Each structure stands twice: as structure tokens, then as C-alpha cells.
Structure 1
Amino acid sequence: MPPILPILLGGLLISLGINFFLSPHRLLDGGIIGLALIMRYLWGFKTGLSIFLLSVPIYLFIGKMDRRLLFNSLVGLSVSSLMIDGLSPFRGWFLLPMLPSAMMGGLLVGTGVGIMLRHRTSTGGTDLIAQYVSERTGWNAGVLIFLIDVLVIACGSPILDPRRLLHTLLTISAVGFATSVCVSAGKTDG
């Protein structure tokens, strides 16, 4: 049985971070979320649906390796994708300046991801790859996610002006920090 309360809380935090803080300023996150945001900014695709579809190949790979991780993460992916698209009509109801939005968005997304990882689930995508590698190597999943995020931001940098690129780097730093803290706290609890 997947850990439903952490999945709901994590999905809500991720959705709030994306819809209320990142999207209004056209900032990116890393990983599959970042790729989905790039698709939204360039072509108007729904962010949650894009996250879901981009995660399918990763699920096919992980499904062969670890079925329990796959099932829990599929639930996490579904819930967070639905919440992201479900809350998108509320995007822009209030608008903070770009700097606090970058930090708040990153902390919310990172905390949501960290809560899920701590309970052996995720939103899928590159988080799932990082979790899989972490469980086999002992490396911190938050650090692995940060490294993947930097690669995605490098790919998305042509669509960002220098100011947005700087704020996006702050966002992924906040995501990596919050995710690492949540994952590390989970190791001391258990």
C-alpha cells in the first residue's frame, strides 16, 4: 500500500511551488518538472500531463528493476500531476517578486519531493532515477537530483534571459537543499 498521506502532502507542496511561485515568473525547475515547464513556456502544454508523459520511459526501465518503487512512484506521479494541473487555474492570484518566488517555489517543490522520497515514493521522472541509484549506492538522493537539475537547466537556458536564469539557479539550489534535508532527516528517523 503506497503511503497516501505523504503523497498527498508532497503533491500539494509541489503543485503550490510550481503554480504560485515558478510559473508566474517563467522560472524553471530541473528534472522532468523542468522539461515540462520548458514545454509549457514554448508550446503551452499542460505541465502535469507533460510530467506524466515524460516519465513513462523511466517507469518502463524502473519497472524491470524494482516493482514496489515503481508502484508507489506511479501513485505519487499521478497525484502530483493531477494536483499541478488542477491548481493551475489559480496561478497568478497573488504575485511575489521574482527573488522570493524563486526561493519559495524551490523550497516548496524540494520539500514535497523530499517528503515523498523519505517515504519510498516519488513524483517519478528523474527523482525516480535518483532514488533508484541512491538505494543501490548510498548516495544522497537530493544531491543526485541537484546534479540532474543542473543538466536540465543547461538545456533550458536558451529560453531564459540572464535574470530568469539566475533565479532558476536559485530555485534548483532551494529544491536541492530542501530535498536533501528531508531525505537526511528521514535517515535519522528510521
Structure 2
Amino acid sequence: MLKKFIIIGFGSTLIGIGINGFILPLHLINGGIFGVSLLLNYIFEFKPGLTFIFLNLPIYLLAYKYDRLYFFNGLLGAIISGFTIELLIPLKGMIHLPMLSSVLLGALIIGSGVALMLRNHISPGGLDLLALLVSKWSKLNVGIIIFIFDTLIIFSGMLLLHDPKLLYSLLIVSIVGLLTSLLTSFRNIYVFVNMK
């Protein structure tokens, strides 16, 4: 349990730094429930971390029905991630980088946090948890499933906000999805080699 809390804490901190330090100040969105939470923040000024926790409730119920372990890991991951995002909001506006540099660095930090948690079968919540369940049922790589979900959310955000700058969000979800896919696949390859 101690290892699990350390992984969740470190992964959530990376996600919180990436969102508050690099994504939120530029009014861009990430994918998944994080992205939906940011959209609701831009439109209605809802608190992104708390919104993230509440939007996860239907997915928690789905996970509880089909896989109790994913439910408890997802519940822990989502609650800690949501509160960490709120805790790190003071980072907003503290880092000043060009748009592309901010997007690249933010995506790498968020992707590292998400991948770290998923590698250890801990979901940061939201669509990542749903993607873990779909991956388990379909045998598709979790990073690919997340990328599909995220792309749909980005295009929905562009339709709602009419902001062409959101195209940069596609780069964010591409990097997060690719990094997650690579790091989770690396673990699978490592386990497979050691089993031989």
C-alpha cells in the first residue's frame, strides 16, 4: 500500500504540474476527463480538480461492477489527482514559455505521470480508468484507446469554444498517448522477456 500511495502521489504531482503550469494558462485542454474538466473551467469557471472527481463517478460505478481492483485503484488515483490539481493551481501563470515549448513540456510531464500510474495498474481516473477496462476486454494497448478518446474530446472542445488555438491540444494528447503507450508497452515487454 505504501508503494501504491507513493506512485499515486508522484504521478498526480506530475499531472498537476503539467496541467497548472503549462496547459491551463494557455487555455488548452488535455484529453480524457481532465480535458472535460478544463473545458468546464473555461466555460463556467468550475474548479477543474473537483469537477474531475465528480465527473468520474459514473466510471467508478462501471469499474466497481466489472473489476473491483480497478475500481479501488481508480478511486484512489482520481481523488488524489483531483485534489493535487487544486493544490497546485498557484502554479498557473508562474511559468512563461513560448506556446510550443509549453505544450511539449506540459505534455511530457502529464504523460509521464499518467504512464507511471498505468504501468502499475493504477488509473489516475476518468477515461484512463475506462481505457484500462476496455484494454483488458479488447487486448488493445491502453495508450491507443486513450488517444482515441482524447481526440474526440479535443474536437468537441474546438466546436464548443471556436478557438483554433485548441489544435495545439491535439499535440498534447498525441504526446501523452504516445508516451503512455511506449511506457506501458515497455513494461509488458519486460515482463514477457522475464517469463521466458
> TM-score, with normalisation over the residues of structure 1?
0.95
Letter in 2 for 1:161: D
Given that residues 15 and 84 in structure 1 are in contact (C-alpha distance below 8 angstroms), is that contact kept between their aligned partners in structure 2?
A: yes
- Residue 48 of structure 1 aligns with which residue? 49
% same residue: 42
Given that residues 77 and 123 in structure 2 are in contact (C-alpha distance below 8 angstroms), is that contact kept between their aligned partners in structure 1?
A: yes
Whose Rg is larger?
Answer: 2
- Residue 97 of structure 1 aligns with which residue? 98
Given that residues 17 and 91 in structure 2 are in contact (C-alpha distance below 8 angstroms), is that contact kept between their aligned partners in structure 1?
A: no
- Residue 168 of structure 1 aligns with which residue? 169
**Greater mean deviation of Cα atoms: 24-33 or 129-138:** 129-138
Given that residues 107 and 175 in structure 1 are in contact (C-alpha distance below 8 angstroms), is that contact kept between their aligned partners in structure 2?
A: yes
Aligned length: 189
Q: Distance in 2 between matches of 1:120 and 1:7?
A: 11
- Residue 194 of structure 2 aligns with which residue? none
Instruction: Identify unmatched segments of 5+ residues in structure 2.
Output: 192-196
Q: Distance in 2 between matches of 1:23 and 1:92?
A: 9
- Residue 119 of structure 1 aligns with which residue? 120
Letter in 1 for 2:71: L
Given that residues 24 and 95 in structure 1 are in contact (C-alpha distance below 8 angstroms), is that contact kept between their aligned partners in structure 2?
A: no
Q: Distance in 2 between matches of 1:186 and 1:136?
A: 19
> TM-score, with normalisation over the residues of structure 2?
0.92
Q: Secondary structure at the match of 1:3?
A: helix
1:8 CA drift (Å): 1.1
Q: Distance in 2 between matches of 1:188 and 1:82?
A: 33
Q: Distance in 2 between matches of 1:94 and 1:107?
A: 15
**1:160–1:27 CA distance, 2 compared to 1 (3 A):** farther
**1:76–1:38 CA distance, 2 compared to 1 (3 A):** same
What is the correspondence of 1:25-174 to structure 2 with a 5 Å cutoff?
25-158=26-159, 159-162=161-164, 164-174=165-175
Q: Distance in 1 between matches of 2:187 and 2:53?
A: 26
Q: Distance in 1 between matches of 2:136 and 2:156?
A: 27
